[in-house]
Amino acid sequence: MATHTQFSVFLVNRPVVLTQVCRALAEAKVNIIALTMMDAMEHGVMRIVSSDVERARDALQQMNFTFTEATVLAVEMSNKPGAAADVCEKLASAKCNISYMYCSTSGAGGKAIGIFKVANMEKARKALESKRKNNRDIKIKKRQPARR
């Protein structure tokens, strides 16, 4: 099953902190595939899927950031209205709960990449690989080999 490791980085909500995380990843030569940032009054959570899990982990540890890791699906979709709805519909039809999702439109060939945190990876993979309507527009994104 094609999956990615996602880092959830817990940050103090101050102007320089997000810059520090992004700079640390850049200096470690880690490309960010997808990112989302959510905030509260005093804290934020930055979720990142990167090109190199080991380098990203090392950079975050060296900066003493608190983070967790989770397994997520990276789903390549057509970059058009309704593509995310089609993926969500397939997962819902398979009774696979989506905890959260976010997207990047930086995929190859103008495709969008949807990052899905689901309750059951195997059930989600089977649902998305089935031969149902509009499946030609949805692919489980293959994990890129680590670049060193």
- Write the Ramachandran bin of 109: left for phi over 0, alpha for psi from -120 to 50, otherwise beta: left
Q: Do 107 and 113 form a contact (C-beta atoms < 8 A)?
A: yes
pLDDT at 110: 78
pLDDT at 27: 96
Q: How far from the centroid of its chain's Cα atoms is residue 72's Cα?
A: 6
Nearest alpha-carbon partner for 29 in 10, 6, 8, 55: 55
Domains and CATH numbers, the chain: 4-70 (3.30.2130.10), 72-140 (3.30.70.260)
pLDDT at 1: 31
3-state class (DSSP) for residue 3: coil
Would strands 98-104 and 138-140 be described as parallel, antiparallel, or unpaired? unpaired
pLDDT at 105: 67
Q: For 81-135, give the DSSP string.
A: TTHHHHHHHHHHHTT--EEEEEEES--GGG-EEEEEEES-HHHHHHHHHS--TTG
pLDDT at 41: 76
d(CA 79, CA 99): 22
What are the pLDDT tens digits along the chain (148 aa)?
A: 368 999 999 999 888 998 999 999 999 999 998 999 998 777 899 999 998 999 999 999 999 989 999 999 999 988 888 999 999 999 999 999 999 999 886 666 778 889 999 999 989 999 998 754 445 555 555 555 555 4
